[in-house]
Every structure is written in structure tokens, then in C-alpha cells.
């Protein structure tokens, strides 16, 4: 029998009516002749509320106890969903992560799945149940409850799909698929039928919040077909799949953006080996993730080094940079928190040229100045003024004719 894993996030189970809606989706899939596993997150804002409650005691709560606390959120969801299935006459049984044998390492609050014991799920499926599994949580080899960190429920769903060799892992969200760009900015943005894992990874890292990178990486490694689809209708969504020949013809899949960027430049850094390493080691030591890095060689034996970090890390990074500036004997530090990043993503860029030129032309025609440029095999990113972002996304989308279905 085909096996479908369905995953529903917090907003899809935020109240009793929405939970019933999730149950209807599970039953529909079952009636179509599939075995069904449903993975759910905590209801609505539950996890945030639990964290806030702990923070009323201390700003630095013990990670083991935070996992003990937070994991209750999903446990409430699975029980409520099981009760909803029963009320509709459907056999269903719920399991916590620990119960179902999702074994993780002991890194509390961001544990990684080591193995999944599928026996209990197989048994429950054989007995005719829809199997409900709590997302986001597992159990360490020390028998402690762990949580998987951001995007954890997606990770649970994909890991289960991989372990059980599911035919598809349906990720239900409040959007009905992956678009060529954000429809709030470009109303003519088009829903994609398919996208590759690598493109999805670039989109996720660029701030498109549809899927967390970890779950996409996991899906790529185990070749799990993900479908991003809507909680609110039954239409097919976007498939995230392995790259195939036909997809190379589609040069560009989409235009992504990220408003959560700030830029820091250390000007006049003496040019000797190990300088860059020294700078970015110091920043990494503070657990700050740097996105783009650009180094311009100056004529005077000195370099200008610019890089971007998330808005939440801006103040701390600026402080570290000023210390570094002094230690290294650089001239000065400049910063800018009014920037944004716009990117074009597509596996076809590996074999097609001219995309960058089109992107730069679109920006130029719209009168938008490019501050930084960075490229990968399947992506070109430009840093621009944040005020120009909407105009930039629209212009690039138009220039690349993404609203038209590729024939």
C-alpha cells in the first residue's frame, strides 16, 4: 500500500476547528488507499508561550528542562488530533517522539536524529490506524526528551518518510506551493510544479520560509519527494525533487529576497595572510552566521572587507568589528542596516549563461544601485537599498518572464 507522510505546522492546528480540518485531510488520503502518517507541530503559538513562561524565571533556562517543557506542545496536538480522528469514526493512534523511537543525539534544543525505530509505526499501520507522530521531538540515548530546533517538525516528517520509504512527504503550510517569487510583491508570480532540492535549499537560506533547510537537506540525502501544499484546499502543490534532465531547460526557478540583512565593512585592512581568517574566526566564535563576504584589494597594500549578517546580530558584530579594526590596524569600520538582498535561483544556470546580465540590466533599468554581488552555481545575489527591494523583485521577475509557464 502506498505510504503518505503529512506534516501540519502550528498555524494548521491552532484551534479545534483547524485540527478537525487536518483530520479530514488525513481521512481523504486514507480513503484514497494510502497508509497515512501525520506529523504535527504545537498548536498555534504554544511553543513561543512556553518559552516566554520559562523566561519569566530566567533568561538562561537549562536546555534539558526546556526540551521537557517545549515537547508538551506537540504532545497536546497529537492527542487532540487523535481525538478528532476518532470523532469522525477513523482509527488513529498518537505517539510522542520518544514513544515512536526517534533517537537523537543529546544536543538539547537542537538535537539531530540518529535513527528511527519503525517497528511501532509499522504495527500501528498494519492494525489499520492513521498514525500520528509528534513533530520536533525525540529521545536521547540517555533517555532524555530532546527537541530538534527550528524547522524541527519538517525534519521529523522527512526523517519518517525516509525511514519508512514513503511515497511522498506532504508539507502543509499556509501557502499553496513554491512561487517564482513572493506574490505579495509580484501579483503575477506563478506557482511552480517542481523545484529541485538544491534550488529549494537556496530559497530557504535566502529567507523564503516555506521549508527549513535541514529538512530539505535530509530529503535530498534520502531522496524523499516533498510536496509543499496548502492546508486550506486540496489542490496539488509544488514537488521538491531530485534534479532531472527536463528541469535543466528551466533556467531560472524564482526570485528570492531577504530583508533581514545588514552590512559591515572594515576599511583599510593590512593585506597579509591570515587576516580574513582572524576576522571571521572571531565572529564565528560569537556564534554569528555571516552570509556574503566580499574583499576588494586596494592599491595601497590594504584591503576593504565587507560582509553581511542578520539584523539580530548587527550590534554585536559591529562591536567585534571595531575591536578587530583596532587590533589589525585597519582604518575604520562602516556599517549599513538599510540593505536587502535579492537573488535569482535556478539549476538551469549551471548550463545556461546570460542570467546575471539580465538581472543586472533589470536593476539598472529600474534605477537601482547594486552594492554587493555574490554568486553560486545556481544562484546570483545582489545587495541593494532596502527601499528598492519591491521594485527590484518586480523588475527581475518581469525581465526573466517568470510569470509565463515554460513550455
Query: Which of residues 128 and 183 has its CB atom nearest to a second copy in the complex?
Result: 128
Q: Kindly state whether residue 36 participates in binding a second copy, applying the rule CB under 8 A.
A: no
Q: Kindly state whether residue 5 participates in binding a second copy, applying the rule CB under 8 A.
A: no
14, 51, 54, 356: which one contacts a second copy (CB under 8 A)? 54
34, 41, 96, 146: which one contacts a second copy (CB under 8 A)? 96
Q: Kindly state whether residue 335 participates in binding a second copy, applying the rule CB under 8 A.
A: no
* Burial degree of 134 (CB within 10 A; 0-12, 13-18, 19+): buried
Instruction: Name the one range near a second copy by CB under 8 A: 48-56, 108-116, 160-168, 333-341.
Output: 48-56
Answer whether 39's CB lies under 8 Å from 135's CB.
yes
Query: Which of residues 83 and 290 has its CB atom nearest to a second copy in the complex?
Result: 83
Query: Which of residues 72 and 205 has its CB atom nearest to a second copy in the complex?
Result: 72
Query: 222 — phi, psi (to 5°)?
Result: -105, 10
- Sign of the dihedral defined by the CA atoms of residues 331, 337, 339, 345, in that order: positive
Q: Kindly state whether residue 384 participates in binding a second copy, applying the rule CB under 8 A.
A: no
Q: Kindly state whether residue 65 participates in binding a second copy, applying the rule CB under 8 A.
A: yes
CA dihedral 313, 316, 322, 325 (to 10 degrees): -60
Q: Kindly state whether residue 118 participates in binding a second copy, applying the rule CB under 8 A.
A: no
Q: Kindly state whether residue 69 participates in binding a second copy, applying the rule CB under 8 A.
A: yes
14, 51, 66, 103: which one contacts a second copy (CB under 8 A)? 66
28, 31, 48, 87: which one contacts a second copy (CB under 8 A)? 87
Q: Kindly state whether residue 318 participates in binding a second copy, applying the rule CB under 8 A.
A: no
Q: Kindly state whether residue 93 participates in binding a second copy, applying the rule CB under 8 A.
A: yes
Site residues (CB under 8 A) for a second copy, limited to 136-165: 143, 145
Query: Which of residues 79 and 225 has its CB atom nearest to a second copy in the complex?
Result: 79
Q: Kindly state whether residue 84 participates in binding a second copy, applying the rule CB under 8 A.
A: yes
* Residues in contact with a second copy, shown as a per-residue x/- string from 293 to 312 under the rule CB under 8 A: --------------------
Q: What's the min distance (Å) between Cβ of 73 and a second copy?
A: 8
11, 21, 45, 64: which one contacts a second copy (CB under 8 A)? 64
Q: Kindly state whether residue 339 participates in binding a second copy, applying the rule CB under 8 A.
A: no
Q: What's the min distance (Å) between Cβ of 100 and a second copy?
A: 10
> Which residue ranges make up the site for a second copy (CB under 8 A)?
16, 19-20, 50, 53-54, 56-58, 61-62, 64-66, 68-69, 71-72, 75-76, 78-80, 82-84, 86-87, 93-94, 96, 99, 143, 145
Amino acid at each position: 500500500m502506498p505510504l503518505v507522510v503529512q506534516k501540519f505546522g502550528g498555524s494548521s492546528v491552532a484551534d479545534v476547528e483547524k485540527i478537525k480540518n487536518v483530520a479530514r485531510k488525513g481521512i481523504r488520503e486514507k480513503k484514497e488507499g494510502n497508509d497515512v502518517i501525520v506529523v504535527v507541530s504545537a498548536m498555534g503559538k504554544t511553543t513561543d508561550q512556553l518559552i516566554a513562561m520559562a523566561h519569566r524565571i530566567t533568561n538562561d533556562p537549562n536546555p534539558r528542562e526546556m526540551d521537557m517543557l517545549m515537547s508538551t506542545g506537540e504532545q497536546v496536538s497529537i492527542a487532540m488530533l487523535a481525538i478528532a480522528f476518532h470523532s469522525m469514526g477513523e482509527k488513529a493512534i498518537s505517539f510522542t517522539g520518544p514513544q515512536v523511537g526517534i533517537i537523537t543525539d543529546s544536543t538539547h534544543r537542537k538535537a539531530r536524529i540518529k535513527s528511527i525505530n519503525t517497528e511501532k509505526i509499522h504495527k500501528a499501520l498494519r492494525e489499520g490506524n492513521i498514525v500520528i507522530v509528534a513533530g520536533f521531538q525525540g529521545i536521547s540515548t540517555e533517555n532524555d526528551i530532546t527537541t530538534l530546533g527550528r524547522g524541527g517538525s519538517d525534519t521529523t516528517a522527512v526523517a519518517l518518510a525516509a525511514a519508512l520509504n514513503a511515497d511522498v512527504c506532504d508539507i502543509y503550510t499556509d501557502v499553496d506551493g513554491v512561487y517564482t517569487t513572493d506574490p505579495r510583491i509580484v501579483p503575477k508570480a506563478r506557482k511552480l510544479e517542481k523545484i529541485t532540492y538544491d534550488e529549494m535549499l537556496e530559497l530557504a537560506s535566502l529567507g523564503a520560509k516555506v521549508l527549513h533547510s535541514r529538512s530539505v537537506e535530509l530529503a535530498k540525502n534520502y531522496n524523499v519527494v516533498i510536496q509543499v501544499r496548502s492546508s486550506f484546499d486540496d489542490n496539488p502543490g509544488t514537488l521538491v525533487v531530485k534534479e532531472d534532465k527536463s528541469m535543466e531547460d528551466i533556467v531560472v526557478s524564482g526570485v528570492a529576497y531577504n530583508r533581514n540583512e545588514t552590512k559591515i565593512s572594515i576599511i583599510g585592512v593590512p593585506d597579509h595572510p591570515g587576516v580574513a581568517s582572524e576576522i571571521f574566526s572571531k565572529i564565528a566564535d560569537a556564534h554569528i552566521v555571516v552570509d556574503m563576504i566580499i574583499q576588494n584589494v586596494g592599491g595601497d597594500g590594504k584591503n576593504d572587507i565587507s560582509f553581511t549578517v542578520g539584523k539580530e546580530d548587527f550590534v554585536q558584530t559591529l562591536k567585534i568589528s571595531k575591536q578587530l579594526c583596532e587590533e589589525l590596524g585597519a582604518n575604520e569600520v562602516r556599517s549599513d542596516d538599510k540593505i536587502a538582498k535579492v537573488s535569482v535561483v535556478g539549476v538551469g544556470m549551471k548550463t545556461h549563461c546570460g542570467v546575471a546580465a539580465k538581472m543586472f540590466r533589470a536593476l539598472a533599468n529600474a534605477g537601482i544601485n547594486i552594492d554587493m554581488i555574490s554568486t553560486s552555481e545556481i544562484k546570483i545575489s545582489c545587495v541593494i537599498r532596502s527601499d528598492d527591494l519591491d521594485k527590484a523583485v518586480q523588475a527581475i521577475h518581469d525581465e526573466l518572464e517568470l510569470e509565463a509557464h515554460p513550455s
